[in-house]
A and B are shown apart, each in its own frame.
Chain A
Amino acid sequence: MILNMLQSIGAGVFDRIGGVGRASIMLFGALFGIPSIRKGFPLFVRQIYVVGVQSLTIIMVSGLFIGMVLALQGYTVLVDYGAEDSLGPMVGLSLLRELGPVVTGLLFAGRAGSALTAEIGLMKSTEQLSSMEMMAIDPLRRVIAPRFWAGLFCMPLLAIIFSTIGILGGHLVGVEWLGIDGGNFWSIMQSKVDLVDDVFNGVIKSIVFAIVVTWISLYKGYNAVPTADGISKATTDTVVQASLAILGLDFVLTVFMFSS
């Protein structure tokens, strides 16, 4: 009984280690895999459209609403202390440091990550990846690499767009609706938000999240059991694991970046 339990725990651990190994090999293949500029660039551009441009709507709408809600909630608290002029920096810092990268990461995992996993899983189940291998074309180079680089390129940009629209949403509610002074909103925000500490650190966070989300999405698709059930599980795993990884990594990064 105990022996069986130990055996199954051991097998589980080995399986995980094997999974990390396989994922690393795949990442290595993707990182150094773009065949040539002539062939790789059109694939990269197409993937930018699929994972980036097609995610724009959800990112912009979410950013707008989150910025507006943030301003509304912030105002109700700050106004009690007569500090409603601090609404600008509150909205700006919240979005640039945390909400921008984190919520974009979560939305990206749900919108683009799950689509990547399902697409690659289906390519596997319909033997498209195998047939590519048999045509002497490496699927890591042809399929995985352009998607990985496109994810890495798009997500930080989406996070910046999210934060920008969020701040505009905050302005809409705070200044246009609730009547805070517009000059104060922008000037206090400008004095409190630091380009390196806040903006750059936020971008670094979103780059880290981009690597993790895209990596998990591609690996889960590439390693999916090629059945309907297997692809469904892989897609769910992508969203769950990528979301948890974002939240966990966000805490770690925040400790290093902002705790002092």
Chain B
Amino acid sequence: MPEPIPQYSVEIEQLSFSRGDRPIYTDINMRFPKGKVTAIMGPSGIGKTTLLRLIGGQIKPDSGSIVFRGHNIPTLGRKKLYQVRQDMSMLFQSGALFTDMSVFDNVAFAIREHTKLPEDIIRTMVLLKLEAVGLRGARDLMPHELSGGMARRAALARAIALDPKLIMYDEPFAGQDPISMGVIVRLIKQLNDSLGLTSIVVSHDVPEVMSIADFVYIIADQRVIGKGTPQELLDHESPLVQQFMQGLPDGPVPFHFKAEDYHCELLGGVK
């Protein structure tokens, strides 16, 4: 009997991770369906990027499993991990383009490293990817000559150069003007649908994420506090989820950092 085709590209079970004494995640469970855009949202500094690094095997969890296409990432040896990474890709917040190479060479980099294809085929592949992100004409520019939005798109072309199965976006909309943001939102959805990728988008830009995500996780306090389709989350009953979705300044996540009584402190400690 043939094995059933797994429904999920990445499955995280009972994952715990801490930095020194500070717990980041405690026993979280998440699943990322194949071929879909799944968003991870949450306040700044709660370790959303850390989660992507855990999936990519750049850091190891304290406990729990992260299964990507049948491989439990934390248990893999270095060689196997590098093999598995050929099926995944990540778009870094800064773009992380190689500053000593042109846009063309940046996109060609992974192809040249992992294949022995002749240069004319590499050229065709790179131009196809650059055309997809609208930067075919910018192929000879150096990264410092690109605007922030263009750099992010060039990095996106590089991320899809080898047709990965999974692509992780780390804050793809951060610091973008409305036009660039619109372009990147459209590209993420388009690439996901046309290339059959599984996409994980880490972001706290609620409207943009809601417009493209098939499924959303909201993380806070070291755990998943809400999950569901965008509509389900908009109707979610948790005050914490609602505070986040509506961008309210005060609520379960307080506006003020923990401090002693305000009046007392102004009066120099006199009660």
Is the A/B pair a real complex?
yes
- C-alpha gap A126/B86 in the complex (Å): 22
User: In the complex, A46 Cα to B104 Cα: how many Å?
Assistant: 19
Q: A134-B88, A136-B85, A138-B82 are in contact. Are A126 and B110 (CB under 8 A)?
A: no
Interface string of A114-139 (1 = CB under 8 A from B): 00000000000011101101111110
Q: Are A128 and B85 in contact (CB under 8 A)?
A: no
| Bound Cα distance from A39 to B89, whole angstroms | 22
Q: How far is the CA of A142 from the CA of B98 in the complex (A)?
A: 13
CB-defined contacts of B58 to chain A, threshold 8 Å: 130, 133-134
B90 within 8 A of A: yes
Question: Nearest Cβ distance between residue A153 and chain B, in whole angstroms?
Answer: 21
Q: Check A133 against B85 for contact (C-beta < 8 Å).
A: yes
Q: Chain B contacts of A126 at CB under 8 A?
A: 94, 96, 99
CB of B63 to closest CB in A, whole Å: 23
The yes or no answer to B147 lying at the interface (CB within 8 A) is no
> How distant is B144 from chain A, measured CB to nearest CB, in Å?
11
Answer whether residue B18 sits at the interface, using C-beta atoms and an 8 A cutoff.
no
Q: Which residues of A contact B93 (CB under 8 A)?
A: 127
Q: How far is the CB of A145 from chain B (nearest CB, A)?
A: 14
Known: A39-B113, A128-B99. A134 touches B94 (CB 8 A): no
Residues on B with C-beta less than 8 A from A128 are 96-99
Min CB gap B199→A, angstroms: 15
Contact A136-B94, Cβ < 8 Å, known A39-B113, A126-B99, A128-B99? no
- The answer to the question of B92 belonging to the interface, with a C-beta cut-off of 8 Å to chain A, is yes
CB of B96 within 8 A of CB of A136, answer no
Q: Does B74 contact A (CB under 8 A)?
A: no
- Nearest-Cβ distance from residue B112 to partner chain A, whole angstroms: 8
Residue on A nearest B84 in the bound complex, by CB: A136
Q: In A222-248, which residues have CB < 8 Å from any B CB?
A: none
**A135 and B94 contacting across the interface, CB-CB below 8 Å:** no
Evaluate contact between A130 and B83: CB separation under 8 angstroms. Answer: no
Q: Which has the most chain B C-beta neighbours within 10 Å: A39, A130, A134?
A: A134
Given contacts A127-B92, A130-B92, A131-B90, contact A136 B98 (CB under 8 A): no
Min CB distance A29 to B, Å, is 10
Residue numbers in A under 8 Å from B97 (CB-CB): 128
Q: Mark A22-64, 1 if CB is under 8 A from B, else 0.
A: 0000000000000000010000000000000000000000000
Interface size class of A (residues with CB under 8 A): 10 to 19
List of A residues within 8 angstroms of B114 by Cβ? 136-137
CB closest chain-B residue, reference A129: B96
A134 near B82 (CB under 8 angstroms)? no
- Asked if residues A136 and B86 are in contact (CB atoms below 8 Å), the reply is yes
Q: Are A137 and B92 interface neighbours, CB within 8 A? A: no
A136 to B86, CA, bound (A): 6
A134 touches B99 (CB 8 A): no
Interfacial chain A residues near B88, Cβ < 8 Å: 134
CB of B230 within 8 Å of the partner chain: no
Report the bound CA distance from A131 to B88 in whole Å.
11
CB neighbours of B56 from chain A (8 A): 133-134
Q: Which residues of A contact B110 (CB under 8 A)?
A: 135-137
Within 8 A of B (CB), among A131-184: 131, 133-138, 142
Given contacts A127-B94, A135-B85, 17 further A-B contacts (CB under 8 A): A126-B94, A126-B99, A127-B92, A130-B96, A133-B58, A133-B85, A134-B56, A134-B58, A134-B90, A135-B89, A135-B110, A135-B162, A136-B83, A136-B114, A137-B82, A137-B113, A142-B113
Q: List chain A positions with a Cβ less than 8 A from chain B.
A: 39, 126-128, 130-131, 133-138, 142
Please give the residue numbers on chain B whose beta carbons come within 8 Å of chain A beta carbons, in ascending order: 53, 56, 58, 82-83, 85-86, 88-90, 92-94, 96-99, 109-110, 113-114, 155, 162
User: What 3 A-B pairs are tightest by C-beta distance, nearest first?
Assistant: A136-B85, A127-B96, A131-B96
19 A-B pairs, CB-CB below 8 angstroms? A39-B113, A126-B99, A127-B92, A127-B93, A128-B96, A128-B97, A128-B99, A130-B58, A130-B96, A131-B155, A133-B85, A134-B58, A134-B90, A135-B85, A135-B162, A136-B83, A137-B82, A138-B82, A142-B113
